[in-house]
Amino acid sequence: MSISQPTWKRRSRAATVILVSALCGGVGAAAYGSMAPESSTPLATTPTSEPAEAELAAFTDADTGSCLNWRPGENGSNSDFTTVGCAEQHRFEISAREDLSQYPTSEFDEDAEHPSLERQQQLTDELCVGPTLNYLNGKLDPEGRYTISPILPPASAWAEGDRTMLCGVMVQDAQGRSTETVGLAAESDQSRAFPADTCVQVINDSPVEVPCNEDHSWQVTDVVNLGEDFPQDWPDIDKQNEYLNQRCTEAARNYLGGDDALYNSTLTPFWTTIQSQSWAAGSRTVNCALTFGRPDGGFANLNGDVRQGFTIDGNPPAKQPPRNPLRNNAAAASPAPAAP
């Protein structure tokens, strides 16, 4: 099953792919040139009057199938922009190369200003989404960790007439900045899953890693590869829930030190699931976690490591009535349903 362009656009706007944050993410985003001072480039750690010609050539020569890396700097100023093999650490995988000077109108002629953020988003939808899906043979998880993004030349190169736009995919952090990854996206597990002990906050319907001493929605107790237990076709959500109910409840007990500890924490075992389109793109990894659901729906704000002192919406866990220790773990109460 492949992901259609309309489906990708609809789902990317709805949930996990935040294009605006991609455009605001520093050197990995098309917005850099329009946001940075004219004298700065994404290729230098400090503002300079002229960009480094060799590094600009590396940007200009980069083509489909190549991967790019750079050294992040402060205030969106970065250095060591290079083309690397995709088996190496990189921040951007190129899916298409566009020459905006050939755009059907004269919008990007020699006197044109850098496109606004709104125009960059339109160009991404128009010129990057389709070619990127084709480049990946449809294997792009619409709920996964990769984002379709563009790179435009820095402002100084744009002013000299460079109209190259590179389309591609990147993995972003909570601030929308590109992070290093290894391997081709189409050959990678694209799941938006986190290592055990990670604290995760849901921001604009998208889960992002945050320090545990900040408000968060859940804390990861285990990482599960569903492909090991379901090696063939996609297991529907009911099958995933049935399997993960047991797996994640046991993970919660082990994480906190037993069933009594879980009971007294007032927290609920929780897990993520994989939709069929994500499975078709090669995603197999989900998380088990601990969370607290509010009576009116949604996640309470946890603060602190759940294995130590922590609060729930600013208060310590409510004291639970005494009970006999649970002797038969299979008799534990069923946890909350999984995330959709």
Element housing 310 (H / E): none
Where in the sequence is the domain holding 227, given as residue range(s)?
A: 199-331
Cβ contact 238:295 at 8 Å: no
Are 242 and 137 part of one and the same domain?
no
Per-residue pLDDT 10s for the chain (340 aa) are 344 454 444 333 322 222 222 222 222 222 222 222 222 222 222 233 333 444 555 566 788 999 999 888 776 666 778 899 999 999 999 999 999 999 888 899 988 998 888 998 899 999 999 999 999 998 999 999 999 999 888 777 888 888 999 999 999 877 778 899 999 999 999 999 999 999 999 987 788 899 999 999 999 999 999 999 999 999 999 999 999 999 999 999 999 999 999 999 999 999 999 999 999 999 999 999 999 999 888 899 999 999 999 999 999 999 999 887 655 554 444 455 555 5
Cβ contact 142:17 at 8 Å: yes
Specify which residues 288 forms β-bridges with.
222, 271
Q: How far apart are CA 187 and CA 147, in angstroms?
A: 15
Q: How far apart are CA 9 and CA 7, in angstroms?
A: 5
Residue with tokens 């590109």: 178
Q: Is residue 336, in this structure, part of any structural domain at all?
A: no
Q: How far apart are CA 148 and CA 120, in angstroms?
A: 12
**Which residues, 6 or more positions from 12, have their beta carbon under 8 angstroms from its beta carbon?**
19, 142, 148
Last residue of a domain, one of 161, 187, 213: 187
Residue 177 tokens, joined: 């900045």
Are 157 and 272 part of one and the same domain?
no
Helices (H), the chain: 5-14, 19-23, 32-35, 53-61, 117-123, 129-135, 155-159, 226-229, 237-256, 259-265, 276-280
Q: Is residue 192, in this structure, part of any structural domain at all?
A: no
Other beta carbons less than 10 A from residue 299's beta carbon:
19
Residue 283 tokens, joined: 């995603």
Query: pLDDT at position 50, please?
Result: 37
Identify residue 194 by its one-letter amino acid code.
Answer: F
Query: pLDDT at position 301, please?
Result: 97
The rounded Cα 198 to chain-centroid distance in angstroms is 15
Specify which residues 68 forms β-bridges with.
83, 92
Query: pLDDT at position 76, please?
Result: 61
Last residue of a domain, one of 149, 167, 187: 187
Cβ contact 19:13 at 8 Å: yes
Q: Is residue 315, in this structure, part of any structural domain at all?
A: yes
Q: Is residue 340, in this structure, part of any structural domain at all?
A: no
Last residue of a domain, one of 158, 187, 216: 187
Residue 183 tokens, joined: 């391997």
Domains identified in the chain, total number: 2
Burial 144-180 (b: 16+ CB within 10 A, else e): bbbbbbbbbbbbbbbbeebbbbbbbbbbbeeebbbee
End-to-end CA distance of the chain: 20
Q: How far apart are CA 21 and CA 18, in angstroms?
A: 6
Are 22 and 167 part of one and the same domain?
yes
Are 268 and 289 part of one and the same domain?
yes
Query: pLDDT at position 167, please?
Result: 95
Are 214 and 178 part of one and the same domain?
no
- Nearest Cα neighbor of 67 from 160, 166, 155, 154 is 166
